[in-house]
């Protein structure tokens, strides 16, 4: 046995790694569980996480900078009194060809994972499973920050990033009508006012959904990305709505595309577990043309790097993702709240 260990050490010094079977010389008394048998590992896998549904519906662009600026053309260029005919007055409108912009820093989410080298060699597909799961875990972290985080000074939303996180949809101010925020490069700029409909009562009613749909400007009705987004428990609440005879208001048709609350008024319903549930001051439903409403800018997608020699017997997997998100066209989305 001593000779085997010495030979393994020599091999490790010259080739970088070696193994020795310490049980090679032992006398086996059987081949069953607990009596000399071997444990064979199935391929490793990670429990499936729910990725970021906002990203799946939104406009995605690449970025290479430390900050990303967004620009909107505002106002009208036609003569507000009479735009018809060949007679014109130059540079009229409200306010002609004026643009506004806002700027957001690209944020970083990262993780370090120490892994025993012995485990990596023993368990098949463990490294691939780690990478897949980290990618989905980052998607969860991104989704929570993209919905709930407040990126302004004095923020208390530390679990979703606070001043180091994304600008969450729920942190944008509410109003009876939509409006672009202030213009400029400061972190306080670009905080647009989102058109928000208030529920009539403590619970969601059918007419609340009707009013929310009515609040979305009609130019967004037929866009491919127009969809409702709500928490699964909110979907359940809508499925439980009944008329005075006890019949469901949202009917189940028994078809793949005709299930209850699968579509509402012609727009698909996207379940999002990273949203508010129904409650006072909450935002349980968004309706938006998502490719117009939200833009996500990624830097280098996501990077993984394996570091060796961080600790004896371990390698350390480092993962990093850089991203920024914003409401781009504030008129393309509306939301529901409760007083």
60 C-beta neighbours (distance < 10 Å), count? 14
pLDDT, position 172: 98
Largest CA distance in the chain: 105
The number of beta carbons lying within 10 Å of the beta carbon of residue 217 is 13
State what percent of residues in the chain have pLDDT above 70: 87
Query: How, if at all, do strands 226-230 and 267-271 pair?
Result: parallel
**289: confidence class by pLDDT, cuts 50, 70, 90:** very high
Which percentage of the chain shows pLDDT scores above 90? 58
pLDDT tens, residue by residue, 168-227: 999 999 999 999 999 999 999 999 999 999 999 989 999 999 999 999 999 999 999 999
Mean pLDDT of the chain: 87
Going by pLDDT thresholds of 50, 70 and 90, the confidence category of residue 307 is: confident
**232, 277 in Cβ contact below 8 A?**
no
Residue 182 and residue 191 in contact, taking contact as beta carbons nearer than 8 Å: yes
Report which of residues 259 and 294 the model is more confident about: 294
Contact 149, 162 (CB under 8 A): yes
Q: Is the pLDDT of residue 99 over 80?
A: yes
How much is the pLDDT for 267?
95
pLDDT at position 221 is 96
Domain residue spans of the chain = 1-39, 53-337
Mind listing the pLDDT tens digit for each residue in 22-74?
555 455 556 677 776 777 778 888 888 999 999 999 999 999 999 999 999 88
- Structure confidence by residue, pLDDT tens digits, 111-127: 888 888 878 777 888 88
Q: What is the CATH number of domain 53-337?
A: 3.30.2400.10
CA 231, 269, 336, 296 dihedral sign is: positive
pLDDT tier for residue 152 given thresholds of 50, 70 and 90: very high
């Amino acid at each position: 046995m001593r000779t085997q260990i010495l030979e393994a050490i020599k091999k490790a010094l010259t080739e970088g790694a070696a193994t020795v079977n310490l049980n090679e010389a032992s006398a086996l008394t059987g081949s069953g569980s607990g009596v000399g048998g071997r444990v064979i590992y199935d391929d490793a896998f990670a429990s499936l996480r729910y990725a970021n549904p906002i990203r799946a519906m939104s406009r995605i662009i690449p970025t290479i900078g430390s900050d990303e600026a967004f620009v909107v053309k505002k106002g009208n260029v036609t003569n507000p009194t009479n735009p018809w005919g060949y007679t014109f007055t130059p540079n009229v409108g409200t306010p002609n060809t004026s643009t506004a912009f806002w700027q957001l820093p690209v944020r970083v989410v990262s993780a370090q994972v120490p892994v025993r080298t012995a485990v990596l060699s023993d368990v098949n597909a463990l490294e691939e499973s780690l990478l897949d799961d980290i990618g989905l875990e980052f998607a969860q972290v991104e989704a929570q920050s993209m919905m709930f985080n407040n990126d302004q000074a004095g923020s208390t939303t530390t679990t979703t990033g606070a001043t180091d996180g994304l600008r969450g949809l729920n942190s944008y101010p509410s109003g009876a009508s939509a409006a672009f925020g202030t213009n400029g490069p400061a972190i306080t700029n670009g905080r647009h006012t989102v058109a928000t409909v208030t529920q009539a009562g403590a619970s969601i009613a059918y007419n609340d959904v009707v009013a929310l749909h009515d609040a979305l400007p009609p130019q967004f009705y037929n866009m491919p990305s127009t969809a409702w987004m709500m928490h699964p428990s909110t979907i359940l609440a809508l499925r439980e709505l009944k008329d005075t005879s006890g019949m469901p208001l949202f009917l189940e048709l028994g078809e793949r595309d005709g299930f209850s609350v699968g579509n509402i008024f012609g727009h698909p319903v996207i379940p999002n577990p990273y949203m508010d549930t129904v409650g006072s001051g909450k935002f349980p439903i968004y309706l938006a043309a998502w490719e117009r409403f939200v833009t996500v800018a990624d830097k280098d997608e996501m990077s993984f790097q394996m570091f060796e020699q961080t600790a004896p017997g371990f390698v350390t997997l480092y993962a990093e993702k850089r991203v920024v998100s914003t409401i781009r066209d504030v008129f393309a989305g509306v939301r529901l709240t409760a007083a």
